[in-house]
Amino acid sequence: MRTVVRAAQLLTAQRAIEDPFVVVEDGAVTEIGQADAASLPNGEVLDFPGATILPALFDVHIHGSAGHDIMEATPQALATIGGFLARHGVGAYLATTVSADMDMTLRSLEGLALEMRRPQLGAQPVGIHLEGPFLSPHKRGAHPERLLQKPSVKLLNQMWQAAEGQVRLLTIAPELPGADETIARAVELGIRVSLGHSNATLAEARKGVQLGAASATHTFNAMRTFDHREPGLVGEVLTNDGLFAELICDGLHVEPTAVRIYWKMKGRERGILITDAMSAAGMPDGPYKLGELDVRVEGGVCLIEENTLAGSTLTLDTGLRNFAAFTGAALAEVMPLATRNPARMLGLDDKIGDIAAGRSADFVILSPERTVIQTFLRGAPQIAA
């Protein structure tokens, strides 16, 4: 079947096209172009007047959604999460763990590896992000202290094997003993290293970068507080133009003025928007689990103990909309932060984060108010009419 999707605007990684069309055949894009009455290709036309077509979003840091935690690693959990994410414009994600008992972690990784070999409905898990257990006890956020581990090549190898080599991203605090060898091993395995949950000084952060770190985990959150005499990891993240940097743009984790600082420093080449969402995303307030942890959700805010944030209920379409609103930047400018940049960071940009002939037909239709009208994944609409 041949479908011609039309809208008011198309944003690809390289250009914006007014009055565009996208031809989809057998799940792939076969042609994109500008429509005029004479040249519209044949096929069933799906018209979205006033709307913008952009590549499907990519979330490299997400723990769960719609009542399920990634670490359940069951077909039902992944199908529910995949369907929910697809309705929010997400086409791909990294299944993200939290620090947990090592037996439970290994079991989850085995389950995720099994599921990732099967075709999934909705958004696709394209790899695993290990957030923990190699985190600083001083900046552990919601990760329970007793579940943290000193960085260890042996443990990393065990997790890699359990995950059948599907680990693509590792969050680690570079100042911990054993971090150097563990970062070096991760790089050797082709895992991207992200610095975070860290009390690193500027010097310690730079050492992590020299060892091969490619990114930073939720910039500002769970990092040593910026000080003008000891800028710490935040100082390195904001000033190193080679480093990618994640941001949670829910307006709670990072105040909008800090979001603008981040935008000025990381820009459209190095910023990566994430959700850090947990199972309560898309669900009512109440008690939830994050890994083994009890979390209470009040007014959409995920909390443990007094007032520690424990993940978010953010969706990436809202994160992108917030980011454009907080920075005042055009959608075309900020769109790469939720599409192409995470794919570039992971070396997956030949498959993810753009719309072009020959690629899988994975794209989102946004209304003028920047809400998701429809998501096409592998050419199939994900939202029932």
Residue with Cβ nearer Zn ion (125 or 141): 141
Q: Which residue is nearest to Zn ion (CB)?
A: 141
3-state SS assignment for residue 213: coil
Q: CB under 5 A: which stretch of 77-85, 99-107, 137-145, 175-183 binds Zn ion?
A: 137-145
- State yes or no: is 276 an active-site residue: yes
Q: Are strands 167-172 and 192-195 parallel, antiparallel or unpaired?
A: parallel
Query: Distances in Å between the alpha carbon of 350 and those of 29, 195, 354?
Result: 14, 25, 8
Residue 108 φ then ψ, to 5°: -60, -45
Minimal distance, residue 215 CB to Zn ion, in Å: 13
Near Zn ion in 52-91, by CB under 5 A: none
Residue with Cβ nearer Zn ion (141 or 208): 141
Q: CB under 5 A: which stretch of 30-38, 78-86, 138-146, 258-266 binds Zn ion?
A: 138-146
Residue with Cβ nearer Zn ion (61 or 321): 61
Residue linked to tokens 């952009």? 54
Residue with Cβ nearer Zn ion (122 or 141): 141
Minimal distance, residue 143 CB to Zn ion, in Å: 7
Near Zn ion in 139-178, by CB under 5 A: 141
Q: Alpha-carbon distance 308 to 84, whole Å?
A: 26
Q: Alpha-carbon distance 79 to 93, whole Å?
A: 13
Residue with Cβ nearer Zn ion (17 or 62): 62
174 and 195 Cβ atoms separated by less than 8 Å:
yes
Q: Residue 31: how many CA atoms within 13 Å on its side-chain side? A: 14
Q: CB under 5 A: which stretch of 134-142, 226-234, 297-305, 337-345 binds Zn ion?
A: 134-142
Return the beta strands (E) in 67-155 as ranges: 68-69, 90-97, 124-131
3-state SS assignment for residue 128: strand
Catalytic residue among 250, 276, 317, 362: 276
Which among 51, 70, 154 is positioned nearest to 116, based on CA atoms? 70
DSSP-derived letter for residue 223 is: B
Residue with Cβ nearer Zn ion (141 or 235): 141
DSSP-derived letter for residue 7 is: E
Q: How far is CA 157 from the centre of its chain?
A: 24
Minimal distance, residue 141 CB to Zn ion, in Å: 5
Give the neighbor-by-neighbor strand order of the sheet with 293-298. 286-290, 293-298, 301-304, 308-309
Minimal distance, residue 61 CB to Zn ion, in Å: 8
Which value, in Å, is the radius of gyration of the alpha carbons in the chain? 20
- Angle (CA) 89-91-97 rounded to 5° is 105
194 and 168 Cβ atoms separated by less than 8 Å:
no
Minimal distance, residue 2 CB to Zn ion, in Å: 44
Minimal distance, residue 142 CB to Zn ion, in Å: 7
Minimal distance, residue 220 CB to Zn ion, in Å: 12
**How many Cβ atoms sit within 10 Å of the Cβ of residue 97?**
27
Q: CB under 5 A: which stretch of 136-144, 159-167, 198-206, 360-368 binds Zn ion?
A: 136-144
Residues contacting Zn ion: total by CB under 5 A: 1
Residue with Cβ nearer Zn ion (63 or 87): 63
59 and 341 Cβ atoms separated by less than 8 Å:
no
Query: Which residues are identified as catalytic?
Result: 276
Which residues contact Zn ion by CB under 5 A? 141
